[in-house]
Amino acid sequence: MCANHILTAMRRYLIATLTLLTVGLSTAHRLAADTYPRQPGVDVVHYVFRLTLSDASNEIAGESTVSMRVTAAGVKELALDLVKAAADKGMTVSSVTCGGANATFVHEADRLRITPAAPPAAGTDVSCTTTYRGVPAGGLRIINNIHGERTATLFI
């Protein structure tokens, strides 16, 4: 099998794995409460991740779309977890759009704080797309296996 076929198969596997992970996390949340601080007034409905991997380096190019429902009035900012680039790991965000319009953002302390162009009203759905690149700090590990072949493994 040539390298392009392997990369294509790996990408399909990663997309399927991330989809299953999202479904699994959604189900696990319903089964057992956790202590992670939630953002009041915002309910995440769906995540979509598009990742580009390369044999040339461990860097990925990513685009994520997060669909959220605003459940309370007065929400001016949306917050997402994303490890910021430091040393040789983490992501650098190049753009964020919400509802197709450019949004301002601040990426500090591994949190991406997004301010949509217009504050969303309670009861509305908002989709924000973030474009980023970098070497994953955790969760996705890209290495050569014991046979010298490039592999990507998802860790939870």
pLDDT digits (tens, 9 = 90+) for 18-67: 444 454 445 555 556 666 667 889 999 999 999 999 888 889 999 999 99
Q: pLDDT at position 11, please?
A: 60
Share of the chain above pLDDT 90, in %: 52
Q: Tens digits of per-residue pLDDT, 110-129?
A: 999 999 988 899 999 999 99
Could you give the domains of the chain? 3-154 (2.60.40.1730)
> Amino acid identity, residue 43?
D
Give the whole-angstrom CA distance, residue 118 versus residue 38: 22
Give the whole-angstrom CA distance, residue 48 versus residue 129: 9
- pTM for the full predicted model: 0.73
* Exposure b/e, 19-58, CB count within 10 A at least 16 = b: eeeeeeeeeeeeeeeeeeeeeebbeeeebebebebeeeeb
Q: pLDDT at position 3, please?
A: 53
Give the whole-angstrom CA distance, residue 143 versus residue 88: 15
Q: Which of 156, 125, 127 is nearest to 140 (CA)?
A: 156
The stretch 11-18 carries a mean pLDDT of 54
